[in-house]
């Protein structure tokens, strides 16, 4: 069983979204949000019981990385989007570009300042 961490959950989330070729991205005037996989999907992907991942989502909310909304799901905040897009850029750039295309990937990166 993998040692869980916020970083591992973000990496797993990116891998799930890219493997399933299903990214939900919301662009607003000054914010980009990405929809996170469900806690159950992350637990299944990581082969851990569902209740193992729940405390990490509480931590991610406290660290202002994600926000949960009833009937909407889990979305990244500005800080969480930077973390997720950084992973896409550094670990999975070719796969991300292959799914989003160069223009959308560049727009995503451009709308997400590094600080």
Domain boundaries, the chain: 6-109
| C-alpha torsion angle, residues 15, 17, 23, 29 (rounded to 10) | -50
pLDDT digits (tens, 9 = 90+) for 83-109: 998 898 889 988 888 888 888 888 778
pLDDT digits (tens, 9 = 90+) for 41-85: 999 999 999 889 989 988 999 999 998 877 778 888 889 889 998
* CATH for 6-109, options being 1.10.10.10, 3.30.260.10, 3.30.70.270, 1.10.10.60: 1.10.10.10
Output the pLDDT for position 114. 62
Cβ atoms within 10 A of the Cβ of 22, count? 11
**Residues contacting 58, CB < 8 A, separation 6+:** none
pLDDT in tens, 6-51: 899 999 999 999 988 888 887 777 788 888 998 899 999 999 998 8
């Amino acid at each position: 069983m993998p040692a869980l961490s916020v970083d591992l959950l973000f990496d797993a989330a990116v891998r799930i979204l890219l493997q399933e070729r299903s990214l939900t991205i919301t662009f607003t005037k000054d914010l980009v949000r990405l929809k996170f996989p469900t806690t159950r999907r992350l637990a299944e992907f990581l082969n851990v019981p569902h209740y193992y991942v729940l405390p990490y989502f509480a931590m991610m909310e406290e660290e202002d990385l994600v926000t949960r909304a009833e009937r909407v799901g889990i979305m990244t905040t500005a800080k969480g989007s930077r973390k997720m897009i950084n992973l896409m850029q550094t670990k999975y750039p070719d796969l991300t570009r292959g799914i989003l295309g160069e223009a959308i990937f560049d727009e995503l990166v451009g709308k997400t300042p590094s600080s």
